[in-house]
Amino acid sequence: MSSPEAAPGDDTAEVVERYRCHVNAGLASLFKFMGFDAVEWKAEGSTIWDTEGRDYLDLLAGFGTLALGHRPAAVVAGVRDQLDRMPLSSRVLFNKPVSDLAARLAAILPGDIAKSFFCNSGTEAIEGALKLARLYTGRPGVVATEGGFHGKTLGALSVSGREVYRQPFAPLVPGVTHVPFGDTDALAAAVGDSTAAVVLEPIQGEGGVIVPPDEYLPAAREICDRAGALLIADEVQTGLGRTGALFACDHSGVVPDIICLAKALGGGVMPLGAFSSTPTIWACLEENPLLHSSTLGGNPLACAAGLAAIEEITRNGLPARAARLGDHALDRLRDLQAAHGDMITDLRGRGLLIGVQFRDADVAGLVIAGLAQRRVIAAYTLNNPEVIRIEPALTIPEADLDRGISALADSVEQTKGLLAQLD
Ligand code: PLP
């Protein structure tokens, strides 16, 4: 595929140099190391074009943000309509996109979750959820999971589970205990009468795409109920169809007390996050409605995007499509693993959240670089660099998904050859 139009302006070297001097020199080196030495310019669906007119197949979808692909027409139209009338809110008058989105979410969220607070990112959604749990229960403690990823603001980082990101910022928020993900006994032992909440991802994304045993979420629900603690489901990455159900909690029928969304919620056009809960729990935020607030969170542009995104995801049956394409991808990847068991040590996933576990992080890095050479965009999971994620748009054409998996197979072969030369 060639670029629909040429890109004007700076050449790649100038942009990289400005990143080095004015953004973050380490980030510039990291992009280059992974083989992504190009400047993005334009995108449509699962294709990105760089400033030199080269096309890339996107198997990463902005770390799961682009559930509808790049520039989905219905979301762009909804945002454009709002842009032409009123992009940002007065913050004192009632705002229709906020009310519409909150009501639409209430209709699709599990159980009797019916009230939402809108913010701009996943980490802010987690901050709000943690504050709400403390406020409602009057307790300080939080139990979180090893390998869990919840964001990088101080509260969300405190409940995340990878030391390399946590340790430089210690001391973090007190009262947090981490337990192994998927281990019901460890969870039961850690939750007590000072626990405000258990926070977990129904399927860990950045931890390396870890699907817990079927009984784990129902057990977590029971443990929380017994202790009077709240269950916070972090569905920032899994929410809105990614795992083959509208919410990953739906696979087990578990209804959390608080649910966090972001990424796909903005339709791949606007930054948008939310935390939502039941009217009973929410009441503690209503006595003083300014106890938790955000000037820019839930702005009309973002809410217009959210409304259009939910409409597109539900109307087009994208959760079911993700389930079907995910099964297909896993079948093909199983063949690849069978052929290269010395390189690929495990395969995990549900829907279009798939993790390919390599024998070490260096091998995974070389495979990503090989994909970059083939102009296929992929990345490792942040809390487990041995795992390459296959996380495309839920709308990716099946032929493109197949092309991406073939490129992965070629890159694994190439990496094997490289390693053999080094032996
Ligand atoms: N929670 C989960 C499960 C995530 O995967 C992420 C980001 O990857 C976050 C929270 C943080 O979201 P953000 O990067 O928008 O702050």
The C-alpha atoms of residue 238 and residue 248 are separated, in whole angstroms, by 6
Minimum-distance ligand 1 atom for the alpha carbon of 235:
3
Sequence ranges of the domains in the chain: 73-315
5 has a pLDDT exceeding 60: no
pLDDT tens digits along 31-47:
888 888 899 999 999 99
pLDDT of 13? 92
**Which residues approach ligand 1 with their CB closer than 6 A?**
63, 121-123, 126, 149-151, 201, 205-206, 234, 236-237, 262
pLDDT tens digits along 118-169:
999 999 999 999 999 999 999 999 999 999 999 999 999 999 999 999 999 9
pLDDT of 9? 66
The C-alpha atoms of residue 134 and residue 368 are separated, in whole angstroms, by 41
- What is the CB neighbour count within 10 angstroms for residue 7? 16
pLDDT tens digits along 56-104:
999 999 999 999 999 999 999 999 999 999 999 999 999 999 999 999 9
- If you measure from the C-alpha of residue 273 to the centroid of ligand 1, how many angstroms do you get, rounded to a whole number? 10
pLDDT of 2? 47
> Out of 11-15, 201-205, 246-250, which region has the weakest mean confidence (pLDDT)?
11-15
Which CATH code of 3.40.50.450, 3.30.1360.70, 3.50.50.60, 3.40.640.10 fits the domain covering 73-315?
3.40.640.10
pLDDT of 7? 65
CB 43 within 8 A of CB 49: yes
228 has a pLDDT exceeding 50: yes
- If you measure from the C-alpha of residue 149 to the centroid of ligand 1, how many angstroms do you get, rounded to a whole number? 7
Three-state secondary-structure class, residue 277: strand
pLDDT of 423? 80
3 has a pLDDT exceeding 60: no
254 has a pLDDT exceeding 50: yes
pLDDT tens digits along 173-225:
999 999 999 999 999 999 999 999 999 999 999 999 999 999 999 999 999 99
Question: What is the residue with the minimal CA distance to atom 10 of ligand 1?
Answer: 150
- If you measure from the C-alpha of residue 8 to the centroid of ligand 1, how many angstroms do you get, rounded to a whole number? 33
Minimum-distance ligand 1 atom for the alpha carbon of 204:
3
Select from 234, 263, 294 the residue to mutate for testing ligand 1; criterion: most ligand atoms less than 8 Å from CB.
263
- Tokens, residue 137: 């229960």
- Tokens, residue 419: 């390693």
Distances in whole angstroms, Cα of residue 9 to Cα of each of 12, 18, 25, 176, 209: 10, 14, 22, 49, 39
* Model confidence band, residue 317 (pLDDT cutoffs 50, 70, 90): very high
- If you measure from the C-alpha of residue 13 to the centroid of ligand 1, how many angstroms do you get, rounded to a whole number? 31
- If you measure from the C-alpha of residue 321 to the centroid of ligand 1, how many angstroms do you get, rounded to a whole number? 23
Diameter of the chain measured on Cα atoms: 68
CA Rg value for the chain: 21
> What HEC string does 6-53 produce?
CCCCCCHHHHHHHHHHHHCHHHHHHHHHCCCCCCEEEEEECEEEECCC
Question: What is the residue with the minimal CA distance to atom 5 of ligand 1?
Answer: 237
- What is the CB neighbour count within 10 angstroms for residue 225? 12
CB 111 within 8 A of CB 231: no
pLDDT of 422? 85
